[in-house]
Amino acid sequence: MLLRVLGPLEVEIDRGGTVDLGGPRQRAVLALLLSARGEVVSVGRMIEDLWRGEAPPQAIASIQAYVSHLRRLLEPARERRAPARVLVTAPPGYAIRVPADAVDAGRFESMLTEARSVGVVDPDRARLC
């Protein structure tokens, strides 16, 4: 799986092309979780960020639906009722648990760190990182 956040938000599952991430709020949930880098994002924070203080009465149910849809997209082979391993429930909210190199920004940061570590000693190798 490759999660792209540098540029348009996209998810590629097993080199099968990108998946339809749904509407703006569902995409915003994914972006919010990815920006937290594996840390738990509380449902309260999601509600605040998604509706800017004007949440509808069904806001929690909406978030649960967004998470459910995203789980199906991120783990298409997961059996119904099997515990999620990518988008997990973790009190008081949710978190995305993927390796850093599954997110393009994480890959970029790793390559940048590597290039900086060899740049002074071997500038030609740093350009290849």
Confidence of residue 113 (pLDDT cuts 50, 70, 90): confident
Residue 118 or residue 30, greater confidence: 30
Residues 113 and 63 in one domain: no
Quote the DSSP letter at residue 84: P
Higher pLDDT, 121 or 9: 9
* 51 and 82 co-located in one domain: yes
In terms of domains, do 49 and 61 share one?
A: yes
Same domain (yes/no): 82, 110 = no
Burial of 124 (0-12, 13-18, 19+ CB in 10 A): exposed
- Render pLDDT for 1-51 as a digit per residue (tens, 0 to 9): 999 999 999 999 877 789 999 999 999 999 999 999 999 999 999 999 999
Calpha distance 18→69 (Å, rounded): 15
Which tokens go with 60?
A: 């929690």
The pLDDT value given to residue 53: 82
pLDDT tens profile 70-101: 999 999 999 988 999 999 999 999 999 999 89
List CB contacts of 45: < 8 A, sequence separation 6 or more.
Answer: 32, 93
- Same domain flag for 15 and 44: yes
Q: Domain check: are 80 and 125 in the same one?
A: no
pTM of the model: 0.86
The structural domain count of the chain equals: 2
What is the pLDDT at residue 109? 87
My answer on whether 25 and 72 are in the same domain is yes
Residue 22: closest CA among 12, 13, 14, 30: 30
Assess whether 30 and 71 both reside in one domain: yes
Q: Are residues 118 and 63 in the same domain?
A: no
Question: Cis (ω within 30 of 0) for the bond into 99?
Answer: no
pLDDT at position 97 is 96
Distance, in Å, from the CA atom of 60 to the CA atom of 86, rounded to the nearest integer, reads 20
Shared domain check, 57 and 112? no
74 in the same domain as 16: yes
Q: SS3 for 89?
A: strand
- Residue 125: how many CA atoms within 13 Å on its side-chain side? 10
The answer to whether residue 111 scores a pLDDT higher than 90 is no
For residues 98-124, give the mean pLDDT: 84
Same domain, 55 and 93: yes
Give the CATH number for residue 74. 1.10.10.10
Full domain range(s) for residue 114: 101-129
